[in-house]
Amino acid sequence: MSNREVRVVVIGAGQAGLSAAYHLGRFGLKPFEELVVLDRNARPGGAWQHRWDTLTMHDVHGIANLPGVAVPGADDGARANVAIPEYFTDYETRMALPVLRPVGGRSVRDLDGTRLAVETDAGTWSAGAVVNATGTWDRPFIPWYPGADLFGGRQLHTADYRGPAGFAGQHVVVVGGGHSAVQILAELSAYATTTWVTRRPPRWRTGEEFGPEQGRAAVALVAERVSAGLPPQSVVSVTGLHLRDQERAAAARGVYEREPMFAALTPDGVRWADGRTVRADAILWATGFRPDIAHLAPLRLRERSGGIRLDGTRAVRDPRVHLVGYGPSASTIGANRAGRAAAREIRDLLLAPVAG
């Protein structure tokens, strides 16, 4: 399979990619002939299929409906990495979305000023527009600290975490100030002793402090950075942290008594600048992810400030490229909206009737 021509290529079949594909189909693009979705995963489910096994539907922060099909009811105890991929699988089939997998993207480059070439390990597609919906899961971020190569225990990122049972009886240093760290600490502390480390003091909020208006304001702040060409920040960096009912027992045990960031790793633990040390069997880096956009590098979309500046979902440096699930649209609700917005903008770019 090589050198196929279509009108639009969607890269990624997570929430944002499926939403974009659905709306592009509604605007008349023929599946496979004019529209394809390229997904690197072997099966449907986006990043959800890779989440840890003990993450349940009770734990996730809400799953938005894909357009046209509501999320089916699921038991609170159902594994999120099973229930959500099942929903995505049914959706792809029901909507007859033109998903090809597994197809790994290598690069996107300009062909002739009009069309783009999407080069993959399964051949090349040329298209008038590309929707990039690759998310962040395949780019876990682990900061470097002195001694990282000396630590004799286990180091892993949340992307590699499968559940707490394998840490029974150990001491684990959990690094990171986001919701994943809070969730993992709650369940991990029932099996192991823990030390929580963050760069900044966590900012806790109560349920009364946060509603739809505050949510929109938080997303707007992230969008402001993206529209200025700055690297996107996580929404939680704006909203703060919230303890849910299932985490309150851990809070009562003192699990969320936070330590500042250590200065270095040692062969058997971590050391702070004042000389204090903590022994550790494992260090779990809950330090987030970066946008998975290296394949777009040939298009030179980045600003000097490090991010890709967007106007809506369009890359300012190349309006044929649309980014969804990036920055303010990284949430499931935001991804749906961005998919619809990208489809509308591509319709106007490629499908609008020519005056005359």
pTM for the model: 0.89
- 203 Cβ neighbours under 8 A, 6+ residues apart: 240, 241
> Is residue 355's pLDDT more than 50?
no
pLDDT (tens digit, 9 = 90+) per residue, 198-243?
999 988 876 555 455 555 555 666 666 666 676 666 666 656 788 8
Q: Report yes or no: 322 and 11 within 8 Å, Cβ to Cβ.
A: no
Alpha carbon distance, N-terminus to C-terminus of the chain: 38
pLDDT score for 212:
52
Closest CA to 109 of 9, 226, 37: 9
pLDDT score for 233:
63
pLDDT score for 243:
84
| Banded pLDDT at 8 (limits 50, 70, 90) | very high
Q: Report d(CA 116, CA 9) in Å as an integer.
A: 9
Average pLDDT score over residue span 130-156 = 96
pLDDT score for 301:
96
pLDDT (tens digit, 9 = 90+) per residue, 80-97?
999 999 999 999 999 999
pLDDT score for 217:
55
- 348 Cβ neighbours under 8 A, 6+ residues apart: none
Q: What are phi and psi of 170, to 5 degrees?
A: -100, 170
